[in-house]
Amino acid sequence: MQTIQLEVDMMDRSTSGKSKVAKKGRKRGQNGTLATGSRPSRARRVEAVEGSCEVCGSTSWDSDDVRGETVCSECGYVASENMIDPGAEWVNHSNGDDRSRVGAPTTLTLSDKGLSTEIRRSDLTSGGAKRHGLSGKALRDWRRRQRIDQRSKTRDSRSRNLSVAMQFIRDRGDLTPQIEQEAASLYRHSVERGLVTGRSIRGVTAACVYIAAREAKLPRKIEDIGEAFDMVSEVEIKELKRTIRLVARNLGTHHITGPEEYFEKFHSDLGLPPSVLGDAREIWSKIKDNLAWQGKKPSGIAGVILYFASQRSSSTRTQSEVCKVSGISEVTLRGLLKILSSMID
């Protein structure tokens, strides 16, 4: 009898312990809803199968996240397969429960593609040192470590070359992030083909910026690119044009810029109403097949068409204003205007 009573007491204790654990795991919040614990990293279902099993009629389903299948737990019928996981792709090479990944994606506009870490300058100022509780000696030590870290990343000449070139593209290119990536890719290909050897980094980066904008059909004038990269003399502009032809020929970027690609930029620079832009596009659609435009500067053609359209509207612009925007002389503008007037007539 003592043995039986002992077994009964043990069963009662285990039952009461389980009930306490169950109550502890099902605590309710203030609003009456069940309060769950911390969400596991991978505990989520990719798809839900509703209804009963077609074979046995059961409503109990099991999901296999590895195979991407949902099967019946009673008979093993596969109700859904090749399920798509809409969540993030988590990869954890450690033994921790946290599978989240942090950090920016790789980018071509950094010399190391953003894969290395760095010591921020803002953390080593007097205010940053005070915020982090660093003494004067510790601050000097960390500044020395920062210099050593920066020098260790640019030991070879190619790393130093890419570091300077990517800085030029980011600071002076004035491009959107997507076109910046394209310009950085063009420069990296130029380095691999040896086009930078014997030429200035500034000149090759300016050529890559010009070609990237031209390929994206957002052309820039060579004079504007030269001014942004401090290449304003006649000799430097001539060298920039020569470098542009060299890079385009070796990398196979032979997009031909048309006058219609300059319309929006010149229209914005001149501050014309939208109706003038529509008239300019209509005029160009009528005369673009004429052979008289061959050999003429595309930006000059765009400028003279906008000038002609503005003269027919209430918002007129002077020849000097149009020439300043399009980068041609007033003599050239009047010559192109005669050609355009003969076509229109």
CATH of domain 157-251: 1.10.472.10
Reading the block at residue 55, the tokens are: 């074979």
pLDDT value at 4 more than 70: no
Per-residue pLDDT band at 32 (split at 50, 70, 90): very low
Among all chains, which residue has been given the structure tokens 């969540």? 87
Which regions of the chain carry the CATH code 1.10.472.10?
Answer: 157-251, 259-344
In the predicted model, what is the mean pLDDT of residues 319-344? 90
Strands 69-72 and 61-64: antiparallel
Phi, psi of 34 (to 5 degrees): -70, 130
> How confident is the model at residue 244, as a pLDDT?
94
Q: Are the CB atoms for 283 and 309 separated by under 8 Å?
A: yes
Mean pLDDT of 88-104: 60
CB atoms within 10 A of CB 337: 18
**260 pLDDT more than 80:** yes
Burial class (CB in 10 A: 0-12, 13-18, 19+), 341: exposed
Q: Among 294, 315, 297, which Cα is nearest to 306's?
A: 315
> Span 257-278, mean pLDDT?
90
Q: What's the CATH architecture for 259-344?
A: Orthogonal Bundle (1.10)
* Position with higher pLDDT, 73 vs 15: 73
Least trusted range by pLDDT, from 24-28, 110-114, 148-152, 309-313: 24-28
